[in-house]
Structure 1
Amino acid sequence: MRNKTVRVLLVEDDDGDAVLVEALLEEASAPFVLSRAETLAEAERMLSDAECVLLDLGLPDSQGLAGLRRLLAKPNAPAILVLTGLDDEREGIDAVAAGAEDYLIKGKVDGELLLRGVRYAVERRRAEDAQRKLREVELLASERSRLERGLLPRALLQNSDVGLEVRYQPGGQRMLLGGDFYDAVGMPDGTVHAIIGDVCGHGPDEAALGVCLRIAWRALVLAGEPAEKVLKTLDQVLVAERHGDGIFTTACMVSVAPDRRSVRYFLAGHPEPLLVTGEEIVELPRSKVGVPLGVLPDYTWAGVDVPLPAGWSLACYTDGLIEGRVPDDVDRLGVERLCEILARHLRNGPTWVDPVIAEVTELNGGPLDDDVAILLLKDGK
């Protein structure tokens, strides 16, 4: 900073004191750009262009620490050095306690001391800002980690013969966590229930709502509630807990029969699952998608029963996987192109989840805008 020009705003209504400050800076050969405001109101308008403020506490429109507090309350307030008179040193000490970087006594400061004071104030403010931003990032990371654990839990399939793979990839255009969630639970009778969902929007409110819905789903399933009632109850929970009337959630819920030869799935405005056997993508019977949760009161979602061939895999995913861009095309990727990509990778073996995500991301030209969650159930018999 020694050779860097610093923008200093002098807030002083006394012309003589203002001339003295300017002379002291010239005396120290200081690389400063000095501007002046004679009132606090004028200073507030000029604050965004300053890196350091030299503030007199006795102004026509402000007396004492009130002016200091007003400037400190401004967004991204710069460093502030308070100027006091010979008989007002106590006020300078109080100003530092209130948030000023330091105070200087008029008539007892030379150019070199003024120079050091301004440099110290600016560097201290920069260090404080850097520390504050670091704390904010750490708090955001901690909050994100807690929410992710709630959205993406450990599945309760310890004693089940159904295999499970899950993936989650956050969207690349923001640091905000989305509301994608999934879960899977094995029941005493051998049935395996799973859900994947996506709360519209991004941010901590949406993520917290996703956590709420996921926990409610697990509790309802463990309580043995039928699938139709589970979705209707989740709809009620969403309406009660959402932070805005327009918030909705898409979901795909599946129930694999104990003999692993059939599955019933429900769609609430969500992409249809993909049924895979060997190198083939099995076309599912056309079904009514159903409206998302939180859209129509008293709506009833209908399930679709599908036979499962030997060696089946059932992939449920959120729409971030199909909404990426495609080079030289105005349309999104879509389900049809996703199936084409999947079919190619199935020829290379059963480990296809990561390669498919990688190719979709590459086609998009970089990180996908939306979060991607994949839940893959596999026949373990």
Structure 2
Amino acid sequence: MTATLSETLTLLLIEDDDGDAFLVEELLRQAEAPPRITWVRNLAETRAKLTSEIQCVLVDLSLPDATGLEALEQVLAMAPHAAVLVLTGLRDVHVGVAAVQAGAQDYLVKQDVDARLLARSVRYAMERKRADLAQIRLVEAELTAKENARLENGLLPVPLLHTKKLRHVTRYLPGTQGSRLAGDFLDTVQTPDGSVHIVVGDVCGHGPDEAALGVALRIAWRTLVLAGQSGDLLLRTMDTLLRAERKAPEIFTTLCMATITPDLTHARMRVVGHPPPVLVRDGVIEALGGGPSGPPLGIFPDIEWTAIDVPLGERWSMMLYTDGLIEAAVGENRQLLGVDGLVDLVKQHGAIDLDRLIRHVGTLSDDLAAMLVSRSGT
């Protein structure tokens, strides 16, 4: 009966006995799709022939340069992504069980092997290896996601906001790259004079270094605001910190910050290479016009950023966000939302609702930090 292998595999046979090696090759040639076989006689040759193309390794447990589980352990170390099938001439089930417990996908006793059994064992070993690798990736992803969530939640600030006249909502969500920490940050501080200072920023890139830099910039911003700094002096100080702390000269940071007057009717903003905030005031929904205040931090030295004075009135809402929101793919054509699309979406909803916006957008390709500050009137 013809043995079955549903795909053409690349196998490595580690066998020092010429007769046994010839037998295994002959049995595998009877498969419906005979595999490509590389034959080596010891572990020394194995190191030279074991490439990433090898999908399955058949290994004898009695080799000239290693025997028993020692040989198996070395093969497993050399081929972490390949299925390993143990061949033994010992009629001792404990040897095979120990081999599987040590990491092999299956074992066969040479004297009991025929073409059909060998082909089936190779196929099953491959499937078990795929399942093992998938389970490992799943566990690693879950652990990474939990650790990232713990770190992100622990690093998010508690807003220093004392007035009850403002509604303040924040969201911090990972994108599809959520297994990697990002440098998005946000903060809110109300100073003793009653002014409310807000910021949302984004360090370019992903990873622990960028996340740590984002936290450093956020803490620096809060400290500088509490110390009475504002405007270009604050931004130049943060620019100096960024240049000192970043791991590579190409790393930059965008941000949008605003200072809302104590009577909550005006705001002075600086849009530093960042997406413009979305405003709702007097029933009009729009993105802040007039262009950015200047380039991101960390690119040009001795920059001045233009302040943007915004009258707010008695009833208003303001949303600051990172580009993870406008870079989301939406609609049947999966086009980027963009700033105009975001404004249109808010107009459809009739107001800014962060949770509703995020649900409508769906899957985020990048991380998102967003803040909604609103005043309902006197």
TM-score (norm 2): 0.74
Q: Equivalents in 2 of 1:283, 1:56: separation in Å?
A: 70
RMSD: 4.5
1:40 aligns with 2:36: no
Deviation at 1:295, TM superposition (A): 0.8
Number of residue equivalences: 361
Deviation at 1:32, TM superposition (A): 10
- Residue type matched to 2:370 in 1? I
Q: String of CA shifts for 1:130-154, please: whole Å, max 9, x gaps.
A: 4422331122112320343256443
Q: 1:73 aligns with which of 55, 75, 78?
A: 78
Q: String of CA shifts for 1:322-367, please: whole Å, max 9, x gaps.
A: 3455779998544344333323432xxx4544444455x3xxxx63
Give the 3 Å change call, closer, same or farther, for CA 285–105 of structure 1 in structure 2.
Answer: closer
Whether the aligned pair in 1 keeps the contact of 2:56 and 2:122 (CA below 8 Å) is: no
Q: Equivalents in 1 of 2:12, 2:186: separation in Å?
A: 55
What SS is found at the alignment partner of 2:270?
strand
Aligned partner of 2:56 in structure 1 is 51
Q: 1:182 aligns with which of 178, 181, 186?
A: 186
Which deviates more from structure 2 when the two are superposed, residues 160-169 or residues 63-72? 63-72
1:10 aligns with 2:6: no
- Residue type matched to 2:50 in 1? E
Which deviates more from structure 2 when the two are superposed, residues 309-318 or residues 163-172? 163-172
What SS is found at the alignment partner of 1:246?
coil
Which deviates more from structure 2 when the two are superposed, residues 220-229 or residues 265-274? 220-229
- Residue type matched to 1:18 in 2? A
Q: Equivalents in 2 of 1:249, 1:272: separation in Å?
A: 15
Whether the aligned pair in 2 keeps the contact of 1:183 and 1:214 (CA below 8 Å) is: yes
Give the 3 Å change call, closer, same or farther, for CA 96–328 of structure 1 in structure 2.
Answer: closer
Aligned partner of 1:367 in structure 2 is 363
Q: String of CA shifts for 1:83-138, please: whole Å, max 9, x gaps.
A: 5899xx99x999999866788898xx6449x9799799768756653442233112
Aligned partner of 1:164 in structure 2 is 168
Q: String of CA shifts for 1:13-58, please: whole Å, max 9, x gaps.
A: 43123245568999xx99996735124256414x634334214664
Q: String of CA shifts for 1:238-285, please: whole Å, max 9, x gaps.
A: 222323221111100111122212211112101222332242136857
Give the 3 Å change call, closer, same or farther, for CA 322–131 of structure 1 in structure 2.
Answer: closer
Whether the aligned pair in 1 keeps the contact of 2:145 and 2:179 (CA below 8 Å) is: no
- Residue type matched to 1:235 in 2? D
Deviation at 1:223, TM superposition (A): 3.6
- Residue type matched to 1:149 in 2? N
1:200 aligns with 2:200: no
Whether the aligned pair in 2 keeps the contact of 1:24 and 1:110 (CA below 8 Å) is: no
Which deviates more from structure 2 when the two are superposed, residues 171-180 or residues 266-275? 171-180
Structure 2: 5+ residue runs without aligned partners?
Answer: none
Q: Equivalents in 2 of 1:321, 1:213: separation in Å?
A: 21
What SS is found at the alignment partner of 2:248?
coil
- Residue type matched to 1:40 in 2? T
Which deviates more from structure 2 when the two are superposed, residues 96-105 or residues 246-255? 96-105
Structure 1: 5+ residue runs without aligned partners?
Answer: none
Whether the aligned pair in 2 keeps the contact of 1:151 and 1:214 (CA below 8 Å) is: no
